[in-house]
Structure 1
Amino acid sequence: MFYILNNSKSGMIAQQQKLDIISNNMVNINTHGYKKIDSSFSSLFHKDLNIKGVPVTELNSSIGNGVKLTGIGRNKSQGSLQPTGINTDIAIDGNGFFKITDGNGQVSYTRSGAMNVDTFGRITDKNGNLVEVSYFDGVDSMNTGLSAKNMIVDKNGLVSTSDGKWICKINLYDAVGNGDLISKGENSFVPSGENVIMFQVQSDFYQGHLEMSNVDVAQEMTEMILAQRAYQMATKGINTADEMWSMLNNIR
């Protein structure tokens, strides 16, 4: 009965964690550039039953010890591109993240392309943090001549003004190494550790578009129903063990 309790407990914990992850994905369905969280689970070690007092029918019989959450990662599949008609909206079609630096010099990465242009003609995110770009020779980064109205971004991320002045190239980065990106909040991410290296990549840019989240509502609903059913089954295991204990206690 202790095995029933332990297995049921681990199952309830694991399924609750899965439900939390699914809920987070569902909440961010309409968050631009959001990448869904995938989870993986595995069985805990098995214990051999060839011990004194335990009847077995096979020499190598064993019993499981439950399940646990073993992995959480970002699903980096492409989200659909939604036209907005706004000059400063820039969608990425392919791999990579915009590199953002805030006023304190802290760096983060995002797929959200809802941009602005500040009074110096620099590209920023919606919070006024600088988006990393490489300026062309002769361009004064404190007076670029760029504005939200005259900005043109081509498919390669090259930025110019409507009168033909080339300003900069928008840089994209992706993660490589033994790790992943972790959420910093507000749809931004940072490397999970020193083993994750960010390197520049090239993808296509679409001005006047925003990337939608890659959350599949139907799939998340299906996963939620399965997790709820699994949680209910785990609770029944505890109820069964409780009934068995009651029967034993009533034996006279």
Structure 2
Amino acid sequence: MNRTMITATNTLSQLQKQMDLISHNLANVDTAGYKRRDASFTDLLVQEYRNQPNNTLEPQNRMTPFNIRQGTGARLGQVQLVLAQGSLKSTGRNLDTAFTAEGQFYRVMVRNEDGSSAMRLTRNGALYLTPLSDNESMLVNSDGHAILDENSQPITISGNVKNFSINETGSFSAEMYDGTSQNVNLGVVLVEKPQFLEQKGDNLLGLPDNLAELGVDETDILTALNGQQRNRISIQQGVLEQSNVDMSKEMTDLINVQRSYQFHSKSITLADQMLGLVNGIR
């Protein structure tokens, strides 16, 4: 296989990953609270052929380095989570909320198949009450996962609820028919380093399992907005945040990726034809 085939083949697999990423963004264009991901490329290993007899000479007006450098393709360098604010859509529903500041997320408790639990993050502010018994309910998200309070505990409400209110600092209040009320602070975190978050499915984000290997701690990535920090929380009730996916941009990127994919596929075809001509020389 000649160098043209190697370079094109290496790049094709990475372009496929970018195409999958763009397709995932487009599929979630109407998902509340979804944050898009953008990809960037870097060069693979570059090989250098030393064809200069003396590299110590500095010819005037030389704009390129000595010797011949030949690349081996490109790879997906980084997939960046974009936390830009999405547009707000009014719903008029008391349990619909939206963050109006970038980087803030609800904490959600997810039960795994093996019975263990894990903390996840979401910007989807569509909240619901699911009954636990005849007189007790739990606050959950649209997928039924428990919303956590500032102490990382599930939020339960006892009694018959008449009305709900959620203020801009994340204080949840349930008013009962008997005139009493129950108040709790929603668990909110501020993401400082979004590049460490991983998609965990169901529009949820989570921390990687190999934090120790990466040399970072959870506190380096997340800041719990508790105590006096709660004044930084910015929540609006009765609205939902739409995804920050720009369909026109994603479609343009998809077309560019498809053109690049076709170009590298054509390079392999041409290289194969040239090898056929060489092998046919007698």
Instruction: Give 1:50 deviation, angstroms.
Output: 2.6
2 CA distance for matches of 1:251 and 1:18?
40
User: Aligned letter for 1:153?
Assistant: I
Aligned partners of 1:177 and 1:196 also within 8 Å: no
Cα deviation code 1:202-243 (max 9, x no counterpart): 331111111111110000001001000111110111111111
- Residue 62 in structure 1 maps to residue 69 in structure 2: yes
User: Equivalences for 1:22-41 in 2 at 5 Å?
Assistant: 22-41=22-41
Cα 1:250/1:10, change in 2 over 3 Å: same
Q: In structure 1, how many angstroms separate the alpha carbons of the residues matched to 2:34 and 2:185? A: 24
Q: Does 1:88 align with 2:95?
A: yes
Specify the SS of the correspondent of 1:186: coil
Structure 1 counterpart of 2:253, one-letter code: E
Residue 188 of structure 1, aligned match among 204, 217, 233: 204
Q: Supply the distance in 1 between the matched residues of 2:80 and 2:121 (Cα, whole angstroms).
A: 16
Residue 187 of structure 2: aligned partner: 171
Match of 2:82 among 72, 75, 94: 75
Q: Distance in 2 between matches of 1:134 and 1:101?
A: 13
Q: 3-state DSSP class of the match of 2:98? A: strand
Separation in 2 of the partners of 1:222 and 1:213?
A: 18
Match of residue 55 from structure 1: none
Please state how far the C-alpha of 1:146 moved relative to its aligned partner: 7.3
- Contact kept, 8 Å, 2:150 with 2:188, in 1: the verdict is no
Residue 160 (structure 1) shift:
2.3
Size of the aligned set, in residue pairs, is 242
Stretches of structure 1 lacking an aligned partner (at least 5 in a row): 53-57, 136-140
TM-score normalized by structure 2?
Answer: 0.77
Distance 1:204 1:164 in 2: 26
Aligned alpha-carbon RMSD (Å): 2.6
Match of 2:265 in 1: 235
- 1:225 paired with 2:255, answer yes
Matches within 5 A, 1:126-165: 126-134=142-150, 143-144=157-158, 147=161, 149-161=162-174, 165=181
For residues 201 and 160 of structure 2, the distance between their equivalents in structure 1, rounded to whole angstroms, comes to 29
1:199 maps to what in 2?
A: 223
Q: Distance in 1 between the 2:89 and 2:107 partners?
A: 22
Aligned structure 1 segments of 4 or more residues deviating by more than 6 angstroms: none
Q: Deviations over 1:93-139 (max 9, x none)?
A: 1121111113543221111111012443542212333211248xxxx
Structure 1 pair 204–178 and aligned structure 2 pair: CA distance change class (3 A):
closer
Partner of 2:117: helix, strand, or coil? Answer: coil
Partner of residue 121, structure 2: 109
The 1-side partners of 2:18 and 2:40 are apart by: 9
Q: Confirm or deny: 8 A CA contact 2:41 2:75 kept in the other structure.
A: yes
Partners of 1:32 and 1:213 in 2: how far apart?
A: 6
Please give the TM-score of this superposition, normalised by the length of structure 1: 0.86
Equivalent position of 2:106 in the other structure: 98
Preserved contact between residue 88 and residue 207 of structure 1 (Cα < 8 Å): yes
194-203 vs 184-193, which moves further: 194-203
**1:32/1:212 contact within 8 Å kept:** yes
